[in-house]
Amino acid sequence: MFNNKLEFKGAVIGTLLGDACIPTPTRKITCHLQLSHKKADEEYLNMKVNMLRYLTEVTVKEYDQKLDDKIYPQVSARTRSHPFYNSIYDHMYYQGRKTVDEHVLKCLTPLGLALWYFDDGTLAGEMGWRNPYICSHNFNKIENELLCRMVHKRFGVTFRTVKKNIKDKTYYWMRLRRKDREKFLNIVAPFAPQCMRRKIDPLFYENDEKYREEHEMSCEICSKSFIANTHSIAKNCKECNQKILRQEHRFHYDTLAKQRVSKCIQCDKTFEKRPGKKTVHCSRKCSGKSHSSFWENKRSNQAIA
Q: Tell me the domains of the chain and their CATH numbers.
A: 5-199 (3.10.28.10), 239-304 (no CATH)
Residue 291's pLDDT band, with cuts at 50, 70 and 90, is: low
Q: What local confidence, expressed as pLDDT, does residue 208 receive?
A: 47
For the ranges 32-46, 231-245, 259-273, 283-297, which has the lowest average pLDDT?
283-297
In sequence order, which residues have a C-beta less than 8 Å from that of residue 247 and are 6 or more positions away? none
Q: For residue 228, what pLDDT is reported?
A: 82
DSSP string of 243-254?
HHHHHHHHHHHH
pLDDT band at 275 (very low <50, low <70, confident <90, very high): confident
Of 72, 85, 110, 69, the residue nearest 22 (C-alpha) = 85
pLDDT confidence of residue 69 = 79
What is the per-residue pLDDT across 227-250, written as a single tens digit (0 to 9) for each?
887 767 778 888 898 999 999 999
Q: Are the CB atoms for 250 and 258 separated by under 8 Å?
A: no
pLDDT score for 267: 85
Q: Is the pTM of this model over 0.85?
A: no
Within a 13 Å sphere around the CA of 12, how many CA atoms are in the beta-carbon half?
A: 26
pLDDT at 274: 82
Mean pLDDT rounded to a whole number for the chain: 86
> What's the one-letter identity of residue 151?
V
